[in-house]
Structure 1
Amino acid sequence: MALDLRDSVVVITGASSGIGRATALAFAAEGARLVLASRGREALADVERACRERLADYQKNNADLQRAADVLVVPADIGDPAAVDELTRATLERFGRIDVWVEAAAVGIAGPLGSEPVDELRRLVDTNVLGATLCARSAVTVFRAQGHGVLVLVGSLLSVFPNPVIPLYSMSKFAVRGLALSLQQEVARHPRIRVCLLMPGTVDTPFFQRSANHSGRRLRAIPPAYAPERLAARILAVARHPRRQTTVGVVSHLMLAAHRLAPRTAESVIGWWGGAFVTGSSAVPPGPGAIFEPLSRGAVHGGYRRGRVRRRLGTWLGSRT
């Protein structure tokens, strides 16, 4: 039976920007009860306002929905166990259950291994690996107690195709993929508890501007970069009808098919493509980006789909998923 998103309770981490923000807005448009988490209070307040507007529009078109626009904001660093516990506690205290947990928070580091300071490496592991694990642990614990729930872990195709320019981020997504596969086996005997892994290719989000960068060149989205709304729509789809593993876009599907047929060749070619196009021609000094600082204002898009050819190519490819 498909989940009715209108009355579902949905926790979204990394909700202030990129895929997380797009997902929050998409669930709001379906009338879900939302719990939004990220490090930045100001950015969370901004996305909260946008979600309440979407919920208000939903209510106008659904007169039978007789409840307030439920949005709970919980500032939280998911790399902090106490913060994740508080996020879970606050959600259960407010709503009594969790139907869907979307773990979309992540930070990035670019550059050869060893070019990054250890504190940046620790920040990446704390967020992308420890944070994803803490969220999954809390979600699955709640799901077992209540007998149902869907956990969506936002991974990456970089968990299959390593990229030499962003090796640490790729490593962290291998860990998320391993966590998802293991949890799927763990909950296999619970038909109403599902763990879903979303493995997108490059997405047009502010992730690249915010990442720590020691590559010497400005970071950019590897073409073709998909719109975050495409990913949000797929997350809603797997919340309704859970799937073990999924991706978005014909190019992503072709990459996975190529890897099944000729893994070494696919990894070599796609690794070269990703390494060549994740940086631009502009030189930039090394720096930590925004991986240590919470956002004061978030955004869905990164601005990498503005070119006419790229936009048309992305639309054409997206229509053939």
Structure 2
Amino acid sequence: MVRRGTLRGAVVLITGASSGIGRATALAFAAEGARLVLASRSQDALAEVEHECGARGGQVLVVPTDIADPAAVERLTRLAVQRFGHVDVWVEAAAVGVAGPLGSESVDEVRRLVDTNVFGTVLCARAAMATFQAQGSGVLVLLGSLLSVFPNPLVPLYSMTKFAIRGLALNLQQEVARRPGIRVCLVMPGPVDTPFFERAANHSGRQLRAIPPAYAPERLAAAILACARRPRRQVTTGVVSHLALVAHRMAPRVTESLVARWSAAFLTKPVAAAATSGSLFDAPPTGAVQGGYRRIRVRRRFGEWLGVAQARRNRRTSS
């Protein structure tokens, strides 16, 4: 069980750990001295993260895993418990994307999207909850999106999957309401600067990009660490994201319309792009934390610094 004020020695399992928010989260937990179980489809990309986390002092077990495969998820859970004896925190961060109007994608792409984002998340949540119930404690962190609240007509199927994750989180939170040792947290990022956009299946006819203002992945990692220390029902990061949620409570229809128009307009660059399935079916051989969509160096470094500073502040306030 995570001790109040420290994550040192905590066993943290992270899916989608080879890239983006998952990778940033793995590095942040490693810096805290956590023991890590890292999963993604790419063994080579996991080896990169293993080396980086080891350099920060974390103990690491890497398990190449396709979360859409029930046998693979069962193996991931078994190896984690065999190695470390238990799991304190399970961070479900694996996801794939499809962009384009409904009907522009193939049926196989729809199946792969749902298999990973919905079915895979369910498999991992089942495994996490069974593990936590057996040991009497644990924190499940589901990585959702503001697109589980706001529509974006350019990514209707991806948004649909995030609505499903939010629904799962809300139901699990009620399920564990009378089990004080088990908590379920929903992290809902707004736009984040990760490689996700270049790896998504793209049928929009234009080049994808992170919707401005794209936040640093390190800031989301800090929010996830805060949930591990002091679980919260729902969290987001960034002034714009918080303002959007407040506006939605006050005027939902107007806010949904404005956000949908903004996000659809700025999700692409005015550059023609051929249709592609991205990394839906084939895992990328390498990974990265950032996607390179924040062009100004000062802004990139400030976002990284702010994420680290938030993690340190959360550590102090929890102790």
The amino acid that maps onto 1:231 is L
The residue identity in structure 2 corresponding to 1:50 is E
CA–CA distance in structure 2, aligned partners of residues 170 and 310 of structure 1:
28
- Report the 3-state secondary structure (helix = DSSP H, G, I; strand = E; otherwise coil) of the residue aligned with 2:56: helix
Distance 2:264 2:302 in 1: 21
Q: 141, 146, 156: which is aligned to 1:167? A: 156
The structure-2 alpha-carbon separation of the partners of 1:120 and 1:306, relative to structure 1 and needing over 3 Å to count, comes to: same
Q: Per-residue deviation at 1:157?
A: 0.1
Q: CA deviation at 1:203?
A: 0.4
- Return the match for 2:8 from 6, 12, 15: 6
- The offset of 1:19, in angstroms, is 0.3
Gaps of 5+ in 2: 311-319
Question: What does 1:72-151 align with in structure 2 at a 5 Å threshold?
Answer: 72-151=61-140
Look up the SS of the partner of 1:6 in the other structure.
coil
Equivalent residue number for residue 165 of structure 2:
176
- Where does residue 16 of structure 1 map in the other structure? 18
Alignment match, 2:267: 278
CA displacement at 1:109 relative to structure 2:
0.2
User: For residues 191 and 95 of structure 1, do their structure 2 counterparts lie closer, same or farther at Cα, with a shift above 3 Å needed?
Assistant: same
Structure 1 residues 117 and 242, CA gap change in structure 2 (3 angstroms): same
Identity fraction in percent: 70
Assess, with a 3 A threshold, how the Cα gap between structure 1 residues 314 and 268 changes in structure 2: closer, same or farther: farther
1:51 alignment partner, SS class = helix
Please report how far the alpha carbon of residue 314 of structure 1 lies from its aligned counterpart in structure 2 after TM superposition: 6.8
Deviations, residues 82-123 of structure 1 (Å, cap 9, x unaligned): 000000000011111000000000000000001000111111
Alignment of 1:225-240 (within 5 A): 225-240=214-229
Gaps of 5+ in 1: 56-68
Contact kept? 1:224, 1:314, Cα under 8 Å: no
The aligned counterpart of 1:241 is 230
* Greater than 6 Å deviation, 4+ residue runs: 312-315, 317-320
Question: Given that residues 25 and 50 in structure 1 are in contact (C-alpha distance below 8 angstroms), is that contact kept between their aligned partners in structure 2?
Answer: yes
Report the residue type matching 1:103 in the other structure: E
Give the number of equivalent residue pairs: 307
Q: Following the alignment from structure 1 to structure 2, what is the Cα–Cα distance between the partners of residues 4 and 134?
A: 29
Question: What's the secondary structure of 2:177's corresponding residue?
Answer: coil
2:32 paired with 1:30: yes
Deviation per CA, 1:53-90, whole angstroms, max 9, x where unpaired? 011xxxxxxxxxxxxx5210000000001000000000
- Asked if residue 303 in structure 1 is aligned to residue 292 in structure 2, the reply is yes
User: Structure 2 CA distance, aligned partners of 1:3 and 1:107?
Assistant: 34
Answer yes or no: is 1:211 the counterpart of 2:200.
Answer: yes
Matched-pair contact (CA < 8 Å) for 2:216–2:300: no
Amino acid at match of 2:86: R
Normalising by structure 1, what TM-score? 0.92
Distance 2:161 2:173 in 1: 19
Inter-partner Cα distance in structure 1 for 2:71 and 2:264: 37
Q: Is the 8 A contact 1:155 1:176 kept in 2?
A: yes
| Separation in 2, partners of 1:139, 1:239 | 14
Using the alignment, how far apart are the partners of 2:82 and 2:299 within structure 1? 46
Task: Quote the Cα distance in structure 1 between the aligned partners of 2:298 and 2:129.
Answer: 43
The alpha-carbon deviation at position 312 of structure 1 amounts to: 9.6
1:21 CA displacement: 0.3
Hey, what does 1:197 align to over in structure 2?
186
CA distance in 1, matches of 2:89, 2:262: 35
Task: Give the aligned partner of residue 313 of structure 2.
Answer: none
Q: Distance in 2 between matches of 1:75 and 1:47?
A: 12
The alpha-carbon deviation at position 313 of structure 1 amounts to 9.9
**Change beyond 3 A, Cα 1:95–1:274:** same
Contact 2:218 2:303 in 1 (8 A): no
Contact 2:219-2:303 within 8 A present in 1 as well: no
Query: How far, CA to CA, are the matches of 1:188 and 1:141 in structure 2?
Result: 16
TM-aligned CA distance change 1:100 to 1:312, over 3 Å = closer
